[in-house]
Amino acid sequence: MIRLSRTRVGLVLGLLAFLLLLIVFFAVATGPSNLSLGDVLDVLVGRSEDRTARDILFRIRLPRVYLGLLVGAALAVAGTVFQALLRNPLADPYVLGVSGGAALAGIAVLALGSLVGLSTKAVPMAAFAGGLLATALLYHVSGGPGRSSPTSLLLTGVVFNAFASAGIVFLASVAGFFEGSRVFLWLIGHLSAVEVDAAGMVAASVGFGLGVALVLSKSLNLIALGDETATQLGVPVARHRRWLLLATSLMVGAAVAVSGLVGFVGLIVPHALRLVIGSDHRLLVPASALAGAGFLVLSDTLARSMLDGRELPVGAVTALVGGPLFIFLLRRAQVHGGVA
């Protein structure tokens, strides 16, 4: 059957939601203190009187899983949208330097904001603005979708990232903001329950971004074929693209504000999904949200349980998976004479 049927949408999303649920249970039941899945369930349904178990669950594990879900969904959907808008399967908020721009702006407020009377509550806003600015610059420098070769786009991203990293380290040094490894964690990407204050704002941003991407998912299909084709099939391309860029910048900004530079999620998740469920964005966008959330929570759970007693930042895990995949995709694109 050539059409995207309701059954297929339900089946794919249902299966992904089920997997996500399993991952969440696994994540909640994993940690240095020995809580069995049974203990966890007891606490969750309110059958347990164990104060420590409750605290571990509600103050440490669940907030972290919650952040992981939001950040993973945001990055994966942003990757999917960027790939369609730029008609480039290698696009990803991290690779393109959009996350870098968001992180630079976030750190700027964190490091220097107190000088101008900005509280740390302004960090997500700043990250959003930074992401938006980086996206706009990227569009400008690369000459727009289709016109830029994949290579020039990627090079632009590399330069953005190098600049952002240098800027972050510089700001941190100038402001004497080397509080231990905080900056390091921003640069590599890290989930921490500390950031849960911002969770409401992050949830709202991700919700909004996902909503826009879903509503415009059919337009994404057409824009992925080229601006002229989309225009000629009735899509107001400029308007829809503005909305989509706004939505993705907001999602990336929110994700970066609470997790720093977690890389490659937006590359790995849509790519793996396309192999299995195809390229129709009406299914790909919601599937990316579910799979991205699951992927990041799983990566984070592995990151904090792999080494006994010590934690890896989650960004290290995603980069270890994503780096090789990126090289593989790039090679394949070169062999086939360009991806765009």
Partner 1 sequence: MNEAAGRRAKHEAGGTPIPSGERLRFEDVSVELGGRRILEGVDFEIRPGEVVGLLGRNGAGKTTLLRLASGILHPCVGRVLLGDEAVGTMSRRRLARRVALVPQDLHVAFPFRVGELVLMGRAPHQPLLGLESEHDVELALEALDRFGIAHLAERGIETLSGGERQLVLFARALVQGPAILLLDEPTAFLDLKHRVEVLREVRAFARSGRSALVVSHDLSLAARSCDRIVLLGGGGVAGIGAPAEVLTRENLRDAFGIGVQSFPGPDGGLVVVPDRLEEPSAAE
- Catalog residues that contact partner 1 under the rule CB under 8 A: 1-6, 9, 83-84, 87-89, 214-219, 221-222, 224-226, 228-229, 231-236, 274, 278-280, 282, 339-340
Q: Of 9 and 53, which CB lies nearer to partner 1 in the complex structure? A: 9
Q: Between residues 145 and 263, which has the closer beta carbon with respect to partner 1?
A: 145
Count the Cβ atoms, other than its own, within 10 Å of residue 54.
Answer: 15
Q: Distances in Å between the alpha carbon of 23 and those of 53, 79, 106, 275, 321?
A: 20, 22, 30, 21, 18
Cβ closest to partner 1, residue 101 vs residue 266: 266
Task: Name the token pair of 223.
Answer: 């824009």
Q: What angle do CA 24, 286, 86 make, to 5 degrees?
A: 120
* Structure token pair of residue 187: 């640069």
Burial class (CB in 10 A: 0-12, 13-18, 19+), 21: exposed
Residue whose CB is less far from partner 1, 2 or 115: 2
User: Smallest gap, in angstroms, from Cβ of residue 80 to partner 1?
Assistant: 10
CB of 88 to partner 1, least distance (A): 6
**Residue number, 46 or 337, with CB nearest to partner 1:** 337
Q: Find the shortest distance in angstroms from Cβ 316 to partner 1.
A: 30
Radius of gyration of the chain from its Cα atoms, rounded to whole angstroms: 20
Q: How far is the CB of 212 from partner 1 (least distance, A)?
A: 12
Nearest to partner 1 of 41, 225 (CB atom) = 225
Q: How far apart are CA 212 and CA 248, in angstroms?
A: 9
Minimum distance from residue 288 beta carbon to partner 1 (Å): 13
Which tokens go with 148?
Answer: 């830029």
- Residue 123 · residue 106 · CB < 8 Å: yes
Residues 6+ apart with CB under 8 A from 112: 171, 175
Q: How far is the CB of 328 from partner 1 (least distance, A)?
A: 16
Residue with Cβ nearer partner 1 (184 or 243): 243
Distance CA 72, CA 135 (A): 19
The angle at the Cα of 191, spanning 250 to 31, to the nearest 5 degrees, equals 145
CB atoms within 10 A of CB 267: 28
Interatomic CA distance for residues 135 and 123, integer angstroms: 18
Distance of CA 172 to the CA centre of its chain: 24
Cβ atoms of 322 and 312 within 8 Å: the answer is no
Cβ-based nearer residue to partner 1, 202 or 230? 230
Please state the closest distance from residue 262 (CB atom) to partner 1, in A: 24
Residue 126: name the closest of 138, 139, 112, 108 by CA.
108
Between residues 224 and 290, which has the closer beta carbon with respect to partner 1?
A: 224
DSSP conformation letters of 179-207: -TTHHHHHHH----GGGGGGHHHHHHHHH
